[in-house]
C-alpha cells in the first residue's frame, strides 16, 4: 500500500544526475548523491516515472522542467526518479533534446528500495509507477498520486496543490493561487 498522506517520507540515499545546465556539466560533476536531508527546510516534490528512453516520460519531465522556476519560487525542490541507473539517466539526458538543460536532479533508484518503501514498484514491469509526492519541510507526505503507467500527469495541477498546501487554509474545489480560501467562522455565521 502506498504511503499515506501524513506519513513520513522514507529515508533514502541515491545517486543522481545533477540538475545543472548542460554546458556546466563535466564528468567530474555530473553525478551527485542525494538523500532526504539534502534539501532541509524546503518542500520536496518528487515524481517517479517508469523508464528512460520512453515516450510519455520525457513529456512529463520536460513539463515539470518548464515549471521549475515556479516551484523554486515556492521554496520547493523538484526531483524525478526511476529505477534506471545514473548512467542511463545521463545518456538519456544527453540525447533527449528537451531534457538537456533539465534544472533538477534525476534520481537513480536502481535497487528499487525507495520505490518499494513507497509501495510504487510495479512488480509486473519491474519499474516505478508513475507517482508524485509533495513532502513538507518536516518530511511529512502532504499529497500523493499514482497513475497508470500509460497516463501522464499534469505538473500544473501538482503546482496548484502545492500552492493550496502552502496556504495552510481550507481551499475549495478548483482553488487557484490568489483565490479566496474558506473562512470557517464566516461560513458558520451565515
pLDDT at 187: 62
pLDDT at 32: 96
pLDDT at 23: 85
Give the cell for residue 141: 507526505
Taken in order 123, 124, 128, 130, the sign of the CA dihedral is negative
Residue 118, helix vs strand vs coil: coil
CA atoms lying within 13 Å on the CB side of residue 112: 13
Alpha helices, H only, the chain: 56-66, 68-73, 86-95, 113-117, 155-167, 184-189
Tell me yes or no: is domain 13-152 CATH 3.40.50.980. Answer: no
* Nearest alpha-carbon partner for 118 in 129, 106, 102, 105: 129
Averaged over successive runs of 10 residues, the pLDDT of the chain (190 residues) comes to 84 95 86 95 96 88 95 97 96 90 95 96 92 97 92 92 93 88 72
| pTM score, whole prediction | 0.92
**Domain chopping of the chain, boundaries:** 13-152
Residue numbers annotated as active site: 57
Amino acid at each position: 500500500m502506498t504511503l499515506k498522506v501524513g506519513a513520513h517520507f522514507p529515508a533514502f540515499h541515491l545517486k543522481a544526475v545533477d540538475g545543472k545546465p548542460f554546458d556546466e556539466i563535466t564528468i567530474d560533476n555530473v553525478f551527485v548523491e542525494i538523500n532526504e536531508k539534502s534539501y532541509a527546510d524546503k518542500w520536496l516534490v518528487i515524481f517517479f516515472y517508469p523508464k528512460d528512453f520512453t515516450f510519455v516520460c520525457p513529456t512529463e519531465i520536460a513539463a515539470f522542467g518548464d515549471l521549475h522556476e515556479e516551484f523554486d519560487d515556492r521554496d520547493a525542490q523538484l526531483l524525478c526518479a526511476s529505477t534506471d541507473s545514473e548512467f542511463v539517466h545521463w545518456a538519456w539526458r544527453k540525447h533527449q533534446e528537451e531534457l538537456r538543460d533539465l534544472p533538477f536532479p534525476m534520481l537513480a533508484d536502481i535497487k528499487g528500495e525507495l520505490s518499494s518503501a513507497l509501495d510504487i514498484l510495479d512488480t509486473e514491469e519491474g519499474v516505478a509507477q508513475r507517482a508524485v509526492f509533495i513532502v513538507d519541510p518536516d518530511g511529512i507526505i502532504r499529497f500523493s498520486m499514482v497513475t497508470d503507467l500509460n497516463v501522464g500527469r499534469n505538473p500544473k495541477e501538482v503546482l496548484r496543490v502545492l500552492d493550496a498546501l502552502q496556504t495552510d487554509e481550507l481551499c475549495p474545489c478548483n482553488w487557484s493561487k490568489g483565490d479566496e480560501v474558506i473562512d470557517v467562522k464566516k461560513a458558520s455565521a451565515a
